[in-house]
Amino acid sequence: MGARLLIERVALLEDIARDAGTPVYIYDAGHVRTQYRALIRALSAVPHRVFYSVKANGNLGVLSVLHELGAGADVVSIGEFVRARRVGFRAADVIFSGVGKRLDELRRTVRDGIGLINVESAEELGHLADIAAALKLPVRIGIRVNPDVKTKAHPYTQTGEADKKFGVPLPQVLDLVRRALAIPFLRLESIGMHLGSQICDPQAYVTAGSRIVDLVAKVRSLGVETLRAVDVGGGLGIRYTDESALEPEAFAAAVTPLARETGLTLFVEPGRYLVGNAGVLLARCLYRKKALGKAFVVLDAAMNDLLRPSLYGAEHHIQVVGADRASPAEGRERVDIVGPVCETGDFLGRDRYLPAAQPGALLAISGVGAYGFSMSSTYNSRPRAAEVVIDGERWAVARRRESLEDLMVGERTLDEIEAADAWRDTAAAEFETP
């Protein structure tokens, strides 16, 4: 049951809204399973491994579903690593990616026996050499390459072009490999890439893939005998409104040649594809407003709950729960769906034709299972929403709504600082004036 079907289950949504409150994220575990199995099926012609990209949705309930399915995890911080471990992912089944891994993050993941660290720079390789030598532990590394390929995704989510911060530029890779070869304890197991997100046209994978195949041959010619995998990253585009999704079969046709031509296991790191359309955000209409020819529906959800429309101009399907979908055009009104946050950029949908929503009505926003809650914040001191998982005929709160107390955890007033004798002397810090 994807998000669109979930929206049709009016009584269930009303129950959840009543019991868990709004705004609330709702994820359908069944949809995640369906997506995972379709991908595995499509890739079955070659040895492969799916590492779920935790940044898309790190809810422990959702992570448990992927763990049960047998996925590995792709993490980008120690926080995501800890989440993955909490639901039972073995460290060996985790890939650590990211352009700015901190020393403490590298140390901790190496100590715990992480499966693969995708190195992005010579400096990072240096840190790993030191850590491995100090801990006397083997470290499995991959090199994330920047293959210099453009995608048609939003500019903020393109990562595979030469002028982006991500990956090691192609011309620098062999040098990095030579360095890695000289470092005891390091084992180069993977060559990888990640081209960007919401990619609907498989051509970018084909173009970049052939560069990776050439590169693997050159890497081997340097004497590397430890390669095990070729990692094509994530990025599979899904259908939000009317775009055509990148279907698993088309994706597989574009990337399986990499495995065949190199004889390596194919690693993939999907996030959005697995969870995006498993999620809806349920919110209540608080007010209706009219201003200079514009009509607004003010919800109790806002840009702090779902940032994608404000940040990327992303379009998510929005529906008034229980309103007849087939209601005639004249029964609808053109409205902006906005939230209570004090920014003009706080909108969840603009110029939408919807059946009139009165205060108290429930609205459902689809396609928010990926990069919805995970990008939410407490801006305007708004406690973050609850998260609910539906599994077959059952549902449960998998993350309770944040409380007002949660908002201030770890903070203190000046009186409390005084009482704790926590002031430090600014003059005690040494500094040089320029």
- In the chain, the largest separation of any two C-alpha atoms, in whole Å, equals 72
Of 79-87, 109-117, 231-239, 297-305, the window that binds ligand LLP (rule: CB under 6 A) is 231-239
Binding mask 366-405 for ligand LLP (x = CB under 6 A): ----xx---x------------------------------
Selected from 97, 190, 256, 310, the binder of ligand LLP by CB under 6 A is: 97
DSSP structural state of residue 256 = H
Q: What are phi and psi of 243, to 5 degrees?
A: -70, 155
Binding mask 40-79 for ligand LLP (x = CB under 6 A): -------------x-xx-----------------x-----
342 is annotated as an active-site residue: yes
Work out whether 198 is an interface residue with ligand LLP (CB under 6 A).
yes
Residues 278-337 that bind ligand LLP (CB under 6 A): 308, 312
Q: How far is the CB of 155 from ligand LLP (least distance, A)?
A: 11
Which residues make Cβ contacts (< 8 Å) with residue 423, sequence separation at least 6?
417
**CA nearest to 276, candidates 375, 346, 394, 386:** 375
Under a CB-based contact definition with an 8 Å cutoff, are residues 274 and 52 in contact? Answer: yes
CA torsion sign, 344 to 349 to 351 to 355? Answer: negative
Work out whether 235 is an interface residue with ligand LLP (CB under 6 A).
yes
Give whichever of 81 and 371 is closer to ligand LLP, judged by the CB atom.
371
Q: How far is the CB of 104 from ligand LLP (least distance, A)?
A: 20
* CB atoms inside a 10 Å sphere around CB 352: 19
Number of residues that bind ligand LLP (CB under 6 A): 23
Work out whether 190 is an interface residue with ligand LLP (CB under 6 A).
no
> Could you tell me where the beta strands, DSSP code E, fall in 292-419?
294-299, 318-320, 332-338, 347-355, 362-366, 386-391, 394-399
Give whichever of 176 and 354 is closer to ligand LLP, judged by the CB atom.
176
Token pair listed for 265: 């296991």
Q: What are phi and psi of 291, to 5 degrees?
A: -150, 120
Q: Which chain residues interact with ligand LLP by CB under 6 A? A: 53, 55-56, 74, 97, 157, 194, 197-198, 233-236, 269-273, 308, 312, 370-371, 375
Catalytic site residues? 342
